Structure 1
Amino acid sequence: MSNQNFIEHSLYLQGYPFAPTELPYIESILTTIRHSQISLQAFPDLHAVSPITIFDKEVICCQNFSK
Structure 2
Amino acid sequence: MEDKQKILDFLLPALQATCNLSDLVSLEYREDRELVYAKFANGNQKIANAACDSGTALIRDVIEQIV
Larger Rg: 1
Assess same fold via TM > 0.5. Answer: no
* Length-normalised TM-score, structure 2: 0.30
Q: Report which of the two has the higher share of helix.
A: 1
Using the size of structure 1 for normalisation, the TM-score is 0.30
